[in-house]
Amino acid sequence: MAKTMAVNVGSSSLKFQLLEMPAERVIANGVIERIGMDDAIVTIKYGEQRSAEQLAVHSEDNAHVTHTKNGKKYENILAIKDHQQAINFVLQQLTTLDIIQDFNEITGVGHRVVAGGEWFNHSVVVTDSVLEKIDRLSDYAPLHNPANAMGIRAFQKLLPNALSVAVFDTSFHQTMPKENYLYSLPYQYYTRYGARKYGAHGISHHYVSQRAAVMMNRNLSELKLITLHMGAGVSITAIEDGKSIDTSMGFSPLSGVTMATRSGDVDPSLVYYIQEHEGLSNDDMVNILNKKSGLLGISTISSDMRDLLDVQDTNDHAQLAVKIFVNRIVKYIGQYIAEMGGVDAIIFTAGIGENSIPVRQMIIERLSYFGIELDVEANNVRGQEVEISTAASRVKALLIPTNEELMIAREVESLK
């Protein structure tokens, strides 16, 4: 059976999942961190027969193979100078570990690309002109698109016969109407620079919305959904007729709700005020908004929701950070219910959404006005696909682990 690789390349990391398609069986998944360093960390998990829908992927650190209850784990620490070497190493290792016998077994590679602008409203087979556009869109995602393009080129070199597909994190949001994606700025900035809302996490929002319809035994076309992707980055999307009609992230992933280290929405004039008073350069300020704000900035102790929940009873800052996090999410949900004129289900996904029982509880309890009732016992789980609202709840609350890799592999399959 054909094998498809779903790839997510970051500036210093590479995550992949190898799936047998169309059976959607995961054969291996892995991550290389610290690319460019003398002590890059490689982890490859393999040797188990899992269905892609059931897989929760998370990486860990440490050159050996261990047997775990879920299969085997290869770990190594070595010098990896660049992405080309990283990809070369992964493919060699897949053959050494007997996961594949020959590179040609991999017939498709799907790449997650962060910014697709207005050019890409669906996934595409990568051609020279597509690659050139991904390069040009680096203006919109300077940290990500260059790494994504590098990953595509490196895989093309090693697997010239495999179908190369770009899956954009913004495509799903291209269905937003103009009144929702346009900022109230002089119109010429939109026409000149494409200054508008593009959103993010589209692959994840798309995947969980499809699963929600399956769980509810309804057609996506008749549902109003609000999907909460709550990880280190957090975004909320209003979905009607299976299409994104509004989302909380904007021109960049900085806007919307409070995140691990990103501020979310801030009055722009406050940014200039703080810069002036603190004597900060533009780069300094952008760094503060992206890396030092959010849960970390408010709590002053951690960007990790687990740490904050652990100490919130004794630490006022931690408690405040959790309150602000929940409050911003509840506000966006209210806004989207108003925009859609109702909602059928609210969906929780990603690190916090899948694992934090108290955060889900705090959010749902604030929504009782809209007819959402939490099933406390059903909510007492992590990382499973399950309904967490009561049978009587007018609006459903669903916990759906995201699976961006599977979504990417399906996109590759659909373009074969």
Residues belonging to the active site: 169
Toward ligand AMP, which CB reaches closer, 91 or 254? 254
Contact 106, 162 (CB under 8 A): yes
Distance CA 136, CA 37 (A): 28
Q: Which two tokens stand for residue 167?
A: 């899956």
Q: Choose the stretch contacting ligand AMP; rule: CB under 6 A; options: 67-75, 155-163, 190-198, 350-358.
A: 350-358
CB of 380 to ligand AMP, least distance (A): 12
Choose one: 18-26, 61-69, 280-288, 352-360; the region binding ligand AMP (CB under 6 A).
352-360
Q: Work out how close the CB of 352 gets to ligand AMP at its nearest, in angstroms, rounded to a whole number.
A: 4
What crossing angle do the helices spanning 145-158 and 128-136 adopt, rounded to 10°? 160
Contact between 231 and ligand AMP (CB under 6 A)? yes
The minimum distance between CB 308 and ligand AMP, in angstroms, equals 8
Distance CA 273, CA 12 (A): 34
Single out the residue of 203, 249, 289, 305 in contact with ligand AMP (rule: CB under 6 A): 305
* Distance of alpha carbon 414 from alpha carbon 306, whole angstroms: 39
Smallest separation, CB 300 to ligand AMP (Å)? 16
In the complex with ligand AMP, which residue's Cβ is closer, 99 or 208?
Answer: 208
Q: Which stretch binds ligand AMP (CB under 6 A): 99-107, 109-117, 272-280, 349-357?
A: 349-357
The yes or no reply on residue 114 touching ligand AMP (CB under 6 A) is no
SS3 255: coil
Min separation Cβ 306 and ligand AMP, Å: 4
Distance CA 45, CA 60 (A): 10
Q: Which one, 106 or 298, has the nearer CB to ligand AMP?
A: 298
Q: CA distances (Å), 229 to each of 194, 249, 409, in order?
A: 25, 11, 20
- What three-state secondary structure class fits 185? coil
Q: Does 304 bind ligand AMP (CB under 6 A)?
A: yes
Residue of 4, 145, 355, 379 interacting with ligand AMP (CB under 6 A):
355
Helices (H), 159-200: 178-181, 188-193
Among 247, 261, 356, 379, binds ligand AMP (CB under 6 A): 356
Helix (H, G, I), strand (E, B) or coil at 74: strand
> Where in 241-300 is the site for ligand AMP (CB under 6 A)?
260
Q: Based on C-alpha coordinates, what's the Rg of the chain? A: 21
User: Shortest Cβ distance from residue 303 to ligand AMP (Å)?
Assistant: 6
Which one, 209 or 258, has the nearer CB to ligand AMP? 258
Binding span for ligand AMP by CB under 6 A among 235-243, 250-258, 283-291, 301-309: 301-309
CA distance 86 to 63: 15
* Strand-by-strand arrangement of the 71-78 sheet: 64-68, 71-78, 40-51, 25-33, 14-20, 3-9, 106-113, 163-168, 124-125
Chain residues that interact with ligand AMP, rule: CB under 6 A: 231-232, 260, 304-306, 350-352, 355-356
